[in-house]
Structure formats: structure tokens, C-alpha cells
Amino acid sequence: MKKVLHTKLNELQATAICGNDISSSCLYVSALTIMYAGQYAWISLLLVAVVLFLFRKIYGEVVGALPLNGGAYNVLLNTSSKRLASIAATLTVLSYMATAVISASEGMHYLHNIAPDINITISTIVILLLFTGLAILGIGESAIVAVIIFITHLTTLTLLVLACAWFIFMHGLDIFNLNWSLPITSGGIINALFLGFSAAMLGISGFESSANFVEEQEQGVFPKTLRNMWAIVSFFNPVIALLLICIIPLAQVGEHQESLLAHLGATTGGSWLAYLISIDAVLVLCGAVLTSFVGVSGLLNRMTLDRILPNYFLKQNKRGSNYRIIISFLILCISVLLVTKGDIVALAGVYTFSFLAVMGLFGIGNLLLKFKRKKLPRPEKARGIAVVVAVSLIITAFIGNVKLNVSSFYTFIEYLIPAYGFVAIMLNRSFLIKVLIEALEYFYKPLRKMVIFSNRYLLKMNLKIKSQEFVFFTKGDDVAIINKVMQYVQNNESTKKLKIVNINKDHDNNELLISDLKVLDRAYPEIDIEFIELEGVFGPEIIDQLSNEWNIPKNFMFIGSPGDRFSYRVSELGGVRLIM
């Protein structure tokens, strides 16, 4: 299949696509945090900013070393097992699904305040359809819309902050003094900060999105998107919470929780500012829907290439969009919307726990990268203690959210089990087909003709699954590494065919390697090993040549972890996977 090339995203475009998701939190996270932390909400939000600062380097190190789409799935695939990586992928898809539905529904709730006659459910479906079409048109067109929404949102938030500052200058800090003197309702300052911090972690949902479409970004853009997202939420979220405490009596926060910023705008600037904030809320929440479609497209495409999902989803249109993935994701979102009847609380549970789990797994992936891929070049490094602290804080927030709403956690589990069940079936489909063949032969002997026909079809399917060949490029100097490769293929892949290739530029004698491979061939009788020795220099050109000649996708090719002297970045190898 011919690969469709498209323009890479610059810093503004990439930041806008993922930034609309994370910056939309400004519309609700302050109110949510105030409900639990009261007058100390801004401190809880500052703690969240610290967590995000730690994750900037965590993400920067991982994606700098492995600049491929997939986020947490990508790092775990290259440092652990495919099964653990698929759990991270399932959680990410659930997070995107919940994000798309919640954002579209909340956007229509804001619109309903302006136009009371609209039907929220129908309008939500229309929004999902609209952004499905935009995503199918291509990432370039999506980026244009995302940039417009992003700039409008930041301008609106800036106007709100300036209006609040002027209001305080004119009216003083009487309300702040009143709010600050109120008793704490959450059982002490520490508990209030803990609950507020747990709730405030919703304010960084979307930070993981940029890692899922890094291949569509220009070189060097990814770390800038992390910096920009961190700066936006680290400024606006604590500042807006502090301004709310200075201007709005805490007793009024609950009754205006769903549109607190609009109420703040009406108080400080009048009805025109409240109206502008409502319009902005509709736009930026729709922008978060777009982020979900772009992010899930990159992730599911990568999963399909790795045979976790059927090859059916690889089909692209003329603009290079995986339209079957996008349409399937739309169907999933609409079905979830209809099944839950737009219950935001139920979906919020899936949303919160999914993205917290994804960030935690990403941190674990960073530690595995440090341990298993020490020699892999990376532009920056996060200190091990900082990673441990960051993951610990994510676990703390996860526990805090369970404490805040245990029913939402159960809802999350109800969605996770069937979602991962489908992925588990795909990972073990060869074994399941074999079991089904034996079951048919045992239970349906009277229907012999039907069984023979079914078994032929199943055997053909199983043969196709197992016939996919894998390639490992070896330097030829370490049989222990090749043994680990054999173990990985045996434990993680359905295929049982492996080409071991040695690119020999110095005409070295490989008799010892050939002898070792004969031993491994006897040790792994279920894996068909083929040794190939080629002259040349290992690099992108020879990978392209062999991939085309053998009809083997590059993500089915493995290399050991390269060192600092390696001539190429991993991203230049076209998706070749690190296995040792």
C-alpha cells in the first residue's frame, strides 16, 4: 500500500490540537476543585502544575528516544510485553472515547444556555459527525480549525483575567477576606488539599494527546507542545481559582458549578463577557472532540500495524486519513452516548481513571526505558527520583478519585473489562481458532460437511495469521540477545516465522553465529528460523529495500537497543521496533 505523505504540523498547530483538550479544563476544574478544597483550591491547582512539570521531562525523554505514535502503548511495547502495552492502549482509547462524548455533550449544554430550544442529545451527535468529517479530511484541515479555536479560547481567558483584575482593583478584597476566614468543610487543610488535588487532576487530562500523533509533527515540535500546555494550565487554572475566591462568595459556587466562569464573567464584565465565555466554551469543548479523533487515529493505526486490531482499519483515503478508524470511533462514541443517555457522571468516571492510569503507565514505561534501554540516545532525561515522585502522585490522585466517587470507579471497570476483552481476543486469536476447530470436530460430528467447511475457513485464517514473517537485525556477536528475541516472539506474537539478518559490511566470519542459531532452532522447534547474511551498511535504505522486497511491514522488524554512536534516530527507521 502506497504511503500518503502530508505536511507536518508546526508548533502552533500541534499545540492547538492537544491544547484545546487540556485548556478546556479551565472551564470546569476551578469550580470542581473549590467544591473540595474551598479557599485552598488554588494551592491544589499549583500542586497539579508541579506534577505536570515533572511529566514534561518524562514524556520528553520517552518520545525523544522513541518518536513514534502511540504514547504509553509505544513505550511499553518497546520496553515490556505486547499484553501490557495493549492494556495502556485500551485505557487510552477509553479516555479518548469519554473525552469526545463528554466534551461534545458539555459543549451542547453551554449552547443550550444560549439557545434553549436545541435538543442536547441530537446536537451532541451532530457535533460528533461534524468533527468526524473534519478528521477524515485530514490533519492539516483539522489543525486550521484547532488553531482558530485555540487562539479564541486563550484570548477569552485573558479578557476574563483582566476583567477580574480590574474588578478587584475597583472593589477591593472584602470577599476574599470573607472566603478565607470560612471554616474548612473537608476535615482539615491536609485532607482538603488532598481531595482538591485529586479532583484538580482533571485539569491536565489531554496532556498525553501530543504523544499519540508525534509522527505528524515537525522535528523538535513535540517538547514545545509539552512546554506550552504546561504553561497554559499552570497559569490559568490557579489564577482563575484565586480570582474566583476574591470575587465570588464560596456559597455561590455550588449553584453556578456548571457555568461558573460565565457567572464570573457576568459579575466582572457584564452580560457581554458571560455570553463570550459561553460561546468560547462551546468552541473549545468541540476542539477537545477534535483532539480525541486525531489522537485515537494515530494510536489505533499503530495498534493495527502491530496486529492488535484487524488489518481492515489500515485503509487510507487520498488525504492520508485512516477513515475506517475514525468512522468506527464515531460509532463507538454515539453508542456510548445513547447507552449512557448522556450521563456525564458515569462517563467522567471512565475519563478520569483512564487518563490517570495512562499517565501512571507512561511513568512506569519511562523507568523501564531507563533500565532496559540505557544506551538508547534521547534529547533529555528525567531523573529517576522525579519519575518515582510523579508516578506516586498519580497513584495518590487515583486513590483520591476512588474516595471521591467509588461508583465512578466501578463504571470505569465495567467499560475496561469488555474493551480489553476484545483486544485480548485479537492477541490470542490463533490459540482461540485452534480451540474452536477442535471443539467443532468434537461436538458436531453428525454435521460433518458443515464442520469440514468451517474448519477449512478457520485453518485458512489461522495459517494467514501465522504466516506473517518477522525480521531481527543482528550484529552477530551476542547469542544471548537472539535468545531473548526468540522468547519475545514466542510469548508475544502469533507468528512462528523469523528471519535473522546480519548486515555484514566487513566480511566477518559468521560460522559461530550460524552454529549458535542451529542450537536455538532445536531449542525453539515451533519457530521457523531463517538466517540471511547480506553485504552493505545497516540503515533506513536497506530497511526500505528489504521491507518492499519481502513484503514485511517495518513494524514487524526488530533491532537491539542502539547506542550513542548509532548513525540514525529511531524515528528515521520507519517504525522498526526495539526488542532488547
Measure the CA angle with vertex 444, ends 440 and 446; round to 5°.
145
CB-facing half-sphere around the CA of 467: CA atoms within 13 A:
8
pLDDT at position 5 is 46
SS (H, E, C) 238-292: HHHHHHHHHHCCHHHCHHHHHHHHHHHHHHHCCHHHHHHHHHHHHHHHHHHHHHH
Measure the CA angle with vertex 364, ends 429 and 25; round to 5°.
95
pLDDT tens, 32-61? Answer: 888 888 899 999 999 999 999 999 999 999
Q: Quick count: other Cβ atoms within 10 Å of Cβ 330? A: 20
CB-facing half-sphere around the CA of 157: CA atoms within 13 A:
25
Question: SS3 for 300?
Answer: helix
Please count the residues of the chain.
Answer: 580
Q: Which residues pair with 471 in a beta bridge?
A: 499, 557
- Write phi, then psi, for 501 (nearest 5 degrees): -115, 130
pLDDT at position 3 is 46
pLDDT tens, 250-288? Answer: 888 877 777 788 889 999 999 899 999 989 999 998 888
Residue 187 backbone zone (phi > 0: left; psi -120 to 50: alpha; other: beta): left
* Residue pLDDT tens, the chain, 580 long: 444 445 788 999 999 988 888 888 888 888 888 888 889 999 999 999 999 999 999 999 998 888 888 888 888 887 888 888 889 989 988 888 888 888 888 888 888 878 888 888 899 999 999 989 888 887 767 788 889 999 999 999 999 999 999 999 999 889 999 989 888 777 788 999 999 999 888 888 788 888 888 888 888 899 999 999 999 999 999 999 999 999 999 888 877 777 788 889 999 999 899 999 989 999 998 888 888 888 888 888 888 877 777 777 778 777 778 888 889 899 988 888 888 777 766 777 778 898 899 999 999 999 998 888 777 778 889 999 999 999 999 999 999 999 888 888 888 888 889 888 888 887 777 667 666 666 666 665 555 445 455 556 656 666 666 667 888 888 765 677 788 778 777 777 766 788 888 887 666 667 777 887 888 888 888 788 888 888 878 888 888 888 888 888 777 788 876 666 666 776 677 677 776 5
CB-facing half-sphere around the CA of 23: CA atoms within 13 A:
35
pLDDT at position 453 is 53
| Helices of type H across 115-188 | 120-137, 139-171, 174-180
- Burial (CB count <10 Å: 0-12, 13-18, 19+), residue 53: middle
Question: SS3 for 577?
Answer: strand
pLDDT at position 287 is 87
d(CA 424, CA 427): 5
pLDDT at position 541 is 86
CA distances from 505 to 227, 502, 513, 551 (A): 43, 9, 16, 24
DSSP 408-439: HHHHHHHHHHHHHHHHHHHHTHHHHHHHHHHH
Give the type of residue at 101. V
pLDDT at position 464 is 64
